[in-house]
Amino acid sequence: METLLADLSVQLLPIAARVVATAIVVMGVSLLVQHAGPALGGIAAGLPIVMGPGFFFLIGHHPPDFLHDAAVATLMALVATLIFVACFIVVAKRAGPFASVGAAILAWCVVAAVTAALPVELVVALPLYVVVAILALRFCRHAAGDGPAPRGARRIADLVLRGILAGTLVASVSVVAALAGPVWAGLLMGFPIGMITISLTVHQRYGGETARQTMLAALGGMSSLAVFTTVMALAVTSTPPMTAWVLSLAASLLPPMGLAARQIRRGRSNGV
């Protein structure tokens, strides 16, 4: 019985970690938007706090070749997530939160279906991500306006509930991903559950313009996710999987740190 309980705790710990991590991200981004502005909130939305525990879970169940293909497939899925964010920024200018997120999810599904048909190769996925990211940033900088200051927030209990629900959904998807093939695992790991919850929450709490500004910053913040998957794909077949995971996590922190430092300097220079 003790052995069974020990095995069960080992299996449940990563799942619980994903629930807690996602809840923290959703709540943290929303509070950052309120107190520090949508730019820093959007940068935080791109942190691999959800993807990191997901790959940690996969490491214990699959060999390096599987992890490599899953990382590349996740990078492919991130291309679709770039389109998700761009679509949300455009639609949210006139539509409500649910219509904006619904249209963005539809766009993600279409693009993900196309990228899933491409070869699962890093030399394909990485250049594709870079090109789409540059185009999306240039387009969305013109499409997104200057959002007003966030309006009054809802009760903290509402925010906590949203975070827990998002975390439970992420954990469920991650468990399914562990049982799927590498391409499907990558697609599921790259599905923008965090972005969906954050964009919906910020739109409802602070309004469409603030949500659009937050997602615009998230486009740049997503470079953290791209670095994570790229380093994982490069390192996991030549180093122990856990070492590759640690390297990926460490490398993924560099882009948001640089973006946040630049944003803070810009705020100081503007007297904010």
List pLDDT tens digits, range 8-52. Answer: 344 555 566 666 666 666 666 666 666 666 777 777 777 887 788
Angle at 255 between CA 252 and CA 261, to 5 degrees: 135
pLDDT range class, residue 161, cuts 50, 70, 90: low
Cα–Cα distance, 272 to 265 (Å, whole number) = 10
Which pLDDT does position 12 carry in this prediction? Answer: 55
Using CA atoms, how far residue 44 sits from 33, 110, 225, in Å, is: 10, 26, 11
User: What mean pLDDT comes out for the span 122-144?
Assistant: 90
DSSP state for residue 41 in the 8-state scheme: H
Cα–Cα distance, 272 to 267 (Å, whole number) = 5
Which pLDDT does position 236 carry in this prediction? Answer: 95
Cα–Cα distance, 41 to 51 (Å, whole number) = 18
Which pLDDT does position 54 carry in this prediction? Answer: 77
**Does the pLDDT of residue 7 top 80, yes or no?**
no
Give the closest residue to 43 by CA, choosing from 193, 253, 259: 259
Average pLDDT over the chain reads 79
Give the closest residue to 98 by CA, choosing from 196, 217, 229, 240: 196
Tell me the backbone φ, ψ of residue 149, rounded to 5 degrees: -65, 145
Residue with token string 């679709």: 80
Neighbours of 16 (CB within 10 A): 13
Q: What is the pLDDT of residues 208-235, one digit of tens each?
A: 888 898 899 889 889 999 999 999 999 9
**Does the pLDDT of residue 77 top 90, yes or no?**
yes
DSSP state for residue 45 in the 8-state scheme: H
Residue with token string 């048909």: 117
Helix (H, G, I), strand (E, B) or coil at 80: helix
Which pLDDT does position 260 carry in this prediction? Answer: 77
Least confident of 9-23, 129-143, 225-239, 257-271: 9-23
* C-alpha dihedral (197, 19, 251, 186), degrees to nearest 10: -70
Q: Look at 156 and 103; give whichever has higher pLDDT.
A: 103
Q: Tokens for 177, please give them.
A: 């991903």
Which pLDDT does position 205 carry in this prediction? Answer: 80
pLDDT range class, residue 125, cuts 50, 70, 90: very high
